């Protein structure tokens, strides 16, 4: 058998026939299983992205069959658009508070629900349900709560904070968005943290108890370092979702009052579809894509360095 392989190797000019056949079969198998996925991804994502970049150099209005090349005109318009930068600042504030509050509440809820608490599964389901509600329905529902539930309640209890509807108040409209977004995303993040808590080896916690560590010390020194993968996932999901939010912004406040809650995704929608300026809208969308990419990659790389190997 060895002599036969050696002769075949010499006859093929030094190329191993078995290795060549294996590579060919592997390539065919990969093409069969991954080919359709690659084709769909290229058609739906890559080609659409390239076409979107091309639109940034045109003055297309989204309706006419023709478009003219305008060079860097759209990018210059984006750089000088004060409303865009105002919406970006609002979005950064929204993302910071939403990500911080939602992850903090989700983490401590998950910590409480992984202890021996009666009815913990029912409580988990209750907190997860808001995530199943669509953003448009969520915004409409909370708009009614702010206007027709909290305002009468504030009047009756003489609480000034609720006597004026938050969605109609310039100072509180952004906080209305933050409140609804935290309520919606908290349950989903909680499930990820619950999975992280359940993956912490009980042996380490028992060893900590033997060494005299109390609950807070075990949380700080044992649980949280081992929960870094869960932090990475939750922070990535909540940050990306915060920058890309549109539906709740549309149905809850519609950017008002007086653009006090117009986040950047809603501003892009207004530019592209309502003002029919697809070229500038695509340039703004590309700017948002680059911002989200830089923020999430930086966040993920920094958090990855904190991971502890078991």
pLDDT digits (tens, 9 = 90+) for 197-212: 888 888 887 787 777 7
Please state which of the ranges 13-22, 129-138, 218-227 shows the lowest mean pLDDT.
13-22
Confidence of residue 43 (pLDDT cuts 50, 70, 90): confident
Confidence of residue 152 (pLDDT cuts 50, 70, 90): very high
Arithmetic mean of pLDDT, 49-55: 90
| pLDDT, the chain, mean | 85
Res 56 pLDDT > 80: yes
Residue 308: per-residue pLDDT: 61
Arithmetic mean of pLDDT, 64-75: 87
Res 15 pLDDT > 60: no
Residue 276: per-residue pLDDT: 87
Residue 310: per-residue pLDDT: 55
Cα–Cα distance between 229 and 25 in angstroms, integer?
Answer: 37
* pTM of the predicted structure, to 2 decimals: 0.83
Distances (CA, A) of 122 to 119, 132, 188, 260: 5, 16, 14, 38
Question: Which architecture does CATH list for 77-304?
Answer: Orthogonal Bundle (1.10)
């Amino acid at each position: 058998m060895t002599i036969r392989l050696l002769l075949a190797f010499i006859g093929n000019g030094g190329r191993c026939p078995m290795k060549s056949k294996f590579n060919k079969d592997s390539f065919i198998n990969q093409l069969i299983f991954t080919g359709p996925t690659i084709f769909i991804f290229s058609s739906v994502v890559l080609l659409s992205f390239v076409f979107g970049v091309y639109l940034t150099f045109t003055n297309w209005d989204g309706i006419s069959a023709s478009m003219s090349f305008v060079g860097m005109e759209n990018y210059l318009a984006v750089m000088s658009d004060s409303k865009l930068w105002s919406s970006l600042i609002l979005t950064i504030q929204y993302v910071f508070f939403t990500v911080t509050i939602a992850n903090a509440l989700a983490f401590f809820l998950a910590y409480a629900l992984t202890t021996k608490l009666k009815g913990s599964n029912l409580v988990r389901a209750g907190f997860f349900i808001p995530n199943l509600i669509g953003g448009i329905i969520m915004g409409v529902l909370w708009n009614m709560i702010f206007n027709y539930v909290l305002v009468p309640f504030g009047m009756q209890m003489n609480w000034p904070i609720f006597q004026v509807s938050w969605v109609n108040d310039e100072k509180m409209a952004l906080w209305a968005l933050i409140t609804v977004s935290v309520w919606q995303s908290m349950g989903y993040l909680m499930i990820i943290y619950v999975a992280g808590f359940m993956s912490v080896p009980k042996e380490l916690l028992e060893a900590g108890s033997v060494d005299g560590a109390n609950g807070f010390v075990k949380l700080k020194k044992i649980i949280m370092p081992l929960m870094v993968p869960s932090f990475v996932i939750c922070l990535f999901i909540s940050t990306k979702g915060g920058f890309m939010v549109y539906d709740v912004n549309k149905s809850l406040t519609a950017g008002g009052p007086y653009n006090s809650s117009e986040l950047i995704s809603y501003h892009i929608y207004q530019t592209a579809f309502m003002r029919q300026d697809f070229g500038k809208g695509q340039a703004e969308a590309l700017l948002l894509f680059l911002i989200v990419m830089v923020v999430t990659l930086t966040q993920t790389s920094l958090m990855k360095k904190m991971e502890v190997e078991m």
